[in-house]
């Protein structure tokens, strides 16, 4: 048994959160620099999980491990700002499909550019071989 004043070793999950948070912060800064100033990192989860052909809100919520209500709030915000469009689901009249609009596609492209810059930066620091091992 460990003594109460002995430090506990860092947990892997906590250690992995550090680079994840660094990447999210760099993506946020990069997108702001490209003119996407009306987004917050919380909105990124929608773009991470939406399928190219569109997705239902329930599917997005499940993939993001959040409630349908929370996902609906994010989608409503993004739709109001022109990043997303809703269309009737041809398989279920009660549901709708959420798709990227042209502005959403532009954001997706900009985010991929920012991510490539991050990967290039990290590769130069870590080394190409280690980065791609």
Q: Is the dihedral of CA 66, 70, 72, 73 positive or negative?
A: negative
Alpha-carbon torsion, ordered 48, 51, 57, 60, to 10 deg: -40
Q: Are 116 and 128 in contact (CB under 8 A)?
A: no
Residue 116, pLDDT above cutoff 60: yes
- Ordered domains of the chain (ranges, CATH): 38-117 (1.10.10.10)
In this predicted model, what pLDDT tens digit does every residue of 46-74 receive, in sequence order? Answer: 999 999 999 999 999 999 999 999 999 99
Q: Is the dihedral of CA 82, 32, 74, 117 positive or negative?
A: positive
In this predicted model, what pLDDT tens digit does every residue of 7-47 receive, in sequence order? Answer: 777 789 889 999 999 999 999 999 999 999 999 999 999 99
pLDDT band at 6 (very low <50, low <70, confident <90, very high): low
> Which residue from 14, 97, 10, 101 is spatially nearest to 59, judged by alpha carbons?
97
Q: What is the pTM of this model?
A: 0.84
Exposed, middle or buried: residue 91 (CB in 10 Å: 0-12, 13-18, 19+)? exposed
CA angle (38, 42, 47) in 5-degree steps: 85
């Amino acid at each position: 048994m460990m003594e109460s004043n002995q430090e506990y070793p860092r947990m892997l999950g906590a250690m992995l959160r550090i680079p994840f948070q660094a990447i999210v912060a760099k993506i946020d800064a990069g997108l702001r620099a490209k003119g996407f100033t009306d987004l917050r990192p919380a909105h990124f989860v929608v773009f991470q999980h939406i399928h190219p052909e569109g997705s239902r809100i329930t599917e997005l919520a499940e993939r993001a491990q959040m409630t349908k209500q929370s996902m609906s709030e994010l989608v409503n915000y993004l739709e109001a700002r022109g990043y997303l469009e809703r269309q009737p689901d041809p398989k279920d009249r009660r549901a709708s499909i959420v798709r990227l609009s042209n502005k959403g596609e532009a954001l997706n492209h900009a985010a991929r550019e920012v991510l490539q810059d991050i990967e290039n930066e990290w590769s130069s620091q870590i080394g190409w071989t280690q980065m791609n091992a």
